[in-house]
């Protein structure tokens, strides 16, 4: 199962992250996972929210550049070596990770991690074959 | 000294006779040798024999940068390329660069006007000159070189850059004259201090600065820092390169060598001549050039003119420092930059033209810096930083290649660049010129 991530272009300027978050908050949209990749002059905010279609429309209506990307949220045992065991599966199967980040909250005793793959479909097949649990869009909304 | 007193100090009637004679010959020459000009002159409804006096120049059509571009490379030449001895190329507004060529006699003319230029600044035969303008396709270095050779100076052809070596050479060979861009003169003062050299005790006593606009406040700064006389030189490659006009030590306007480069100051909209002392666009006719003579060339530089005899004895009219441009060209480190060049690159990369802004800045005593802000639109946005950085890098490299100067490219959020009347404000010049 793929889930939807919203990416937003942000200049390195005071208050821009606040602007995005308060805009989403005012519209009753809940952020589940978040990361920022930055360069010296700009950054890309990546978020997973409960209502991504609504959220991306609100962002665009307010002048932000935003797009939707498919990512995979994977359950990882919340213990030493938990992440490594999942990464080993990717490494053994030549699955290339573009980037990854953690969830803000958990919905079981497992940790949740968001992966962006170069080839999402292939990554999903490998995950399924190795019985690694991925989180569905529905589960994200219900978090 | 005055290098060519008989023309530089000629009475108005003598000068007018000379100019009239040159213009009638020039008109016949280009009419018979340059099909592009023949067509232009025919279209203006003029015959070469109608041009008898310099006052008849108003009957002739203007020549523009667009003509240079449209007839690239050789369309405006009046000689066969086998007669050409040297060519120089500068970047054009879009697409084609500007090509200029010189016959052997044109190089002699250039040597002569550059010798006049250096004398006008106060050089004396036997002086040493350090030429820190770029040698190469840029006309600055070689133009000074020819003139210095002509008037009998000892030449140190350092070209631009390698500042530490420039300063060492100054100390070692003690040139009394330095020729470079004014911003480089400021930059070298800073570097000198860092090297433990007091610029005020430097050897340069006369500076011939040009290739970019600069103000009297920068002049005062340079003169104080270096303890020298700082003079302004004007020129453009289409006319000849440096050597079109030069300030004398009275620093009250630049003497334009009007016996060979006939100036008119016009209202850029109506094309009509403006009154003496009023601001207008400088239009120049090269009265004696052979390879690529230009008639009524629109320089796009805004100046005023003063026909009074100067205290130095020269009667050649004086133009003011450049007060502005009729187009949105800016000059950065001696290089002409047009927004259209940057648009061209952006359209090439992105398919359509994004909003962009060019910010030119000069930190105290540093070289000019160009930053291009580009608004990120959805079709170029990616969630992956590396793709955005690649895009940024590609824009930076391509603009750098087109302009021949390094620029910084910054991606910005949409709608953050100020709009004026629906169009973005394309150039922000923060420099104190």
pLDDT confidence band for B217 (50 / 70 / 90): confident
Q: Is pLDDT above 80 for B186?
A: yes
Map residue B236 onto helix, strand or coil: strand
Size of interface A-B (CB pairs under 8 A): 55
What is the arithmetic mean of pLDDT over B262-272? 94
For position B117, what pLDDT does the model report?
Answer: 98
Contacts with B99 (C-beta within 8 Å, 6 or more apart), sequence order: B68, B72, B73, B74, B87, B88, B89
The residue assigned the tokens 């070289």 is B367
Instruction: Answer whether B167's CB lies under 8 Å from B191's CB.
Output: yes
- Cβ distance of A7 and B381 shorter than 8 Å: yes
Q: Does B413 touch chain A (CB under 8 A)?
A: yes
- Cβ distance of A41 and B377 shorter than 8 Å: no
- Cβ distance of A41 and B411 shorter than 8 Å: yes
* Chain A contacts to B (CB-CB under 8 A): 5, 7, 9-11, 16, 37-39, 41-42, 44, 46, 60, 63-67, 69, 98-99, 116
- DSSP assignment of B320-343: PPP-EESS--EEETTEEE-HHHHH
- Cβ distance of B413 and A11 shorter than 8 Å: yes
Instruction: Answer whether A42's CB lies under 8 Å from A10's CB.
Output: yes
- Cβ distance of B414 and A44 shorter than 8 Å: no
How far apart are the C-alpha atoms of B238 and B257, rounded to whole Å?
15
Among the partner-chain residues B384, B410, B414, the one whose CB lies closest to the CB of A65 is B414
Q: For the segment B116-161, what is each residue's pLDDT rounded down to a tens digit?
A: 999 999 999 999 999 999 999 999 999 999 999 999 999 999 999 9
How far apart are the C-alpha atoms of B167 and B88, rounded to whole Å?
28
- Cβ distance of A65 and B413 shorter than 8 Å: yes
Instruction: Answer whether B353's CB lies under 8 Å from B362's CB.
Output: no
Q: Does B419 touch chain A (CB under 8 A)?
A: no
Q: Does B383 touch chain A (CB under 8 A)?
A: yes
Report chain A residues whose CB lies below 8 A from the CB of B389.
Answer: 39
- Cβ distance of B412 and A7 shorter than 8 Å: no
Among the partner-chain residues A11, A38, A46, the one whose CB lies closest to the CB of B412 is A11
For position B429, what pLDDT does the model report?
Answer: 85
- Cβ distance of B383 and A64 shorter than 8 Å: no
For position A77, what pLDDT does the model report?
Answer: 85
> How close does chain A come to B384, measured CA to CA in Å?
8
Instruction: Answer whether B366's CB lies under 8 Å from B373's CB.
Output: no
Q: Does B359 touch chain A (CB under 8 A)?
A: no
pLDDT confidence band for B79 (50 / 70 / 90): very high
> How close does chain A come to B413, measured CA to CA in Å?
6
For position B92, what pLDDT does the model report?
Answer: 57
For position B49, what pLDDT does the model report?
Answer: 96
**Mean confidence (pLDDT) of chain B:** 92
Q: For the segment B383-404, what is each residue's pLDDT rounded down to a tens digit?
A: 888 889 999 999 999 998 888 8
For position B95, what pLDDT does the model report?
Answer: 60
Q: For the segment B187-214, what is each residue's pLDDT rounded down to a tens digit?
A: 899 899 999 999 999 999 999 999 887 8
Give the chain B residue whose CA is nearest to the CA of A9: B413
> How close does chain B come to A67, measured CA to CA in Å?
7
**DSSP assigned state of B55:** G
In chain A, which ranges are continuous DSSP H helix? 16-26, 52-61, 82-92, 120-129, 137-141
Q: Dmax over Cα atoms in chain A, in whole Å?
A: 45
Rounded to two decimals, what is the model's pTM? 0.71
Among the partner-chain residues A16, A41, A46, the one whose CB lies closest to the CB of B383 is A46
- Cβ distance of B388 and A42 shorter than 8 Å: yes
- Cβ distance of A37 and B385 shorter than 8 Å: yes
For position B420, what pLDDT does the model report?
Answer: 58
How far apart are the C-alpha atoms of B216 and B299, rounded to whole Å?
22
Give the chain B residue whose CA is nearest to the CA of A65: B378
**DSSP assigned state of B317:** -
- DSSP assignment of B68-117: HHHTTTTTT-SS-GGGEEEEEEE--SSSS-EEEEEEHHHHHHHHHHHHHH
Instruction: Answer whether A13's CB lies under 8 Å from A41's CB.
Output: no
Q: Which residue numbers in chain A have pLDDT < 50? A: none
Task: Judge residue B126's burial from the number of C-beta atoms within 10 Å of its C-beta, 0-12 exposed, 13-18 middle, 19 or more buried.
Answer: exposed
> How close does chain A come to B378, measured CA to CA in Å?
6
Give the chain B residue whose CA is nearest to the CA of A39: B385
Complex ipTM > 0.85: no
Task: Judge residue A1's burial from the number of C-beta atoms within 10 Å of its C-beta, 0-12 exposed, 13-18 middle, 19 or more buried.
Answer: middle
Q: Is the dihedral of CA B112, B26, B138, B230 positive or negative?
A: positive
- Cβ distance of B381 and A65 shorter than 8 Å: yes
Interface test with A, best of B379, B383, B390 (most A CBs within 10 A): B383
How far apart are the C-alpha atoms of B355 and B343, rounded to whole Å?
9
Map residue B248 onto helix, strand or coil: coil
- Which strands make up the sheet holding B408-412, listed edge to edge? B408-412, B369-375, B356-361, B427-429
More reliable by pLDDT, A60 or B93: A60
Q: Is pLDDT above 80 for B365?
A: no
- Cβ distance of A9 and B413 shorter than 8 Å: yes
């Amino acid at each position: 199962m793929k889930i939807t991530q919203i990416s937003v272009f942000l200049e390195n300027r005071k208050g821009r992250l606040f602007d995005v978050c308060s805009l989403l908050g005012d519209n009753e949209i809940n952020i589940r996972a978040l990361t920022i990749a930055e360069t010296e002059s700009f950054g890309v905010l990546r978020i997973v929210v409960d209502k991504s279609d609504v959220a991306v429309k609100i962002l665009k209506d307010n002048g932000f550049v935003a797009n939707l990307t498919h990512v995979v949220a994977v359950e990882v045992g919340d213990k030493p070596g938990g992440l490594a065991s999942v990464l080993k599966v990717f490494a053994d199967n030549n699955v290339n990770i573009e980037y990854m980040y953690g969830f803000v909250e958990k919905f079981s005793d497992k940790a949740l991690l968001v992966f962006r793959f170069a080839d999402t479909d292939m990554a999903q097949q490998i995950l399924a074959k190795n019985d690694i649990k991925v989180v569905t869009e529905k589960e994200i909304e219900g978090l | 000294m005055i290098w060519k007193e008989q023309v530089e100090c000629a009475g108005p009637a003598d000068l007018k006779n000379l100019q009239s004679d040159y213009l009638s010959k020039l008109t016949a020459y280009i009419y018979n040798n340059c099909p592009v000009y023949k067509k232009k002159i025919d279209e203006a409804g003029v015959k070469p024999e109608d041009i008898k006096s310099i006052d008849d120049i108003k009957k002739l059509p203007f020549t523009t940068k667009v003509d240079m571009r449209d007839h690239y490379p050789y369309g405006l030449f009046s000689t066969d390329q086998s007669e050409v001895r040297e060519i120089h190329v500068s970047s054009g507004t879009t697409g084609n660069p500007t090509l200029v060529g010189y016959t052997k006699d044109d190089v002699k003319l250039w040597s002569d006007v550059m010798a006049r230029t250096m004398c006008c600044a106060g050089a004396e035969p036997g002086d040493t000159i350090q030429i820190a303008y770029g040698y190469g396709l840029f006309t600055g270095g070689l133009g000074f070189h020819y003139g210095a050779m002509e008037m009998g100076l000892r030449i140190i052809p350092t070209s631009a850059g390698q500042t530490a070596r420039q300063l060492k050479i100054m100390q070692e060979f003690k040139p009394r004259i330095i020729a470079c861009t004014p911003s480089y003169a400021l930059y070298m003062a800073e570097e000198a201090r860092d090297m433990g050299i007091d610029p005020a005790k430097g050897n340069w006593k006369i500076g011939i600065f040009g290739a970019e606009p600069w103000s009297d406040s920068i002049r005062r700064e340079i003169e104080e820092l270096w303890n020298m006389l700082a003079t302004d030189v004007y020129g453009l490659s289409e006319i000849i390169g440096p050597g079109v006009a030069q300030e004398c030590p009275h620093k009250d306007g630049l003497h334009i060598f009007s016996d060979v480069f006939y100036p008119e100051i016009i209202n850029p909209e109506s094309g009509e001549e403006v009154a003496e002392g009023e601001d207008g666009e400088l239009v120049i006719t090269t009265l004696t050039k052979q390879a690529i003579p230009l008639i009524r060339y629109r320089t796009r530089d805004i100046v005023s003119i003063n026909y009074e005899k100067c205290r130095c004895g020269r009667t050649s009219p004086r133009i003011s420092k450049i007060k502005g441009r009729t187009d949105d060209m800016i000059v950065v480190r001696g290089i002409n930059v047009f927004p259209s060049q940057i648009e061209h690159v952006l359209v090439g990369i992105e398919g359509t033209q994004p909003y962009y802004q060019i910010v030119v800045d000069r930190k105290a005593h540093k070289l000019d810096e160009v930053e291009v802000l580009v608004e990120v639109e959805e079709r170029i946005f990616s969630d992956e930083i590396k793709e955005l950085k690649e895009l940024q890098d590609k824009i930076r490299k391509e603009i750098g290649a087109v302009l021949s100067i390094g620029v910084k490219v910054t991606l910005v959020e949409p709608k953050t660049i100020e709009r004026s009347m629906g169009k973005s404000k394309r150039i922000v010049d923060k420099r104190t010129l």
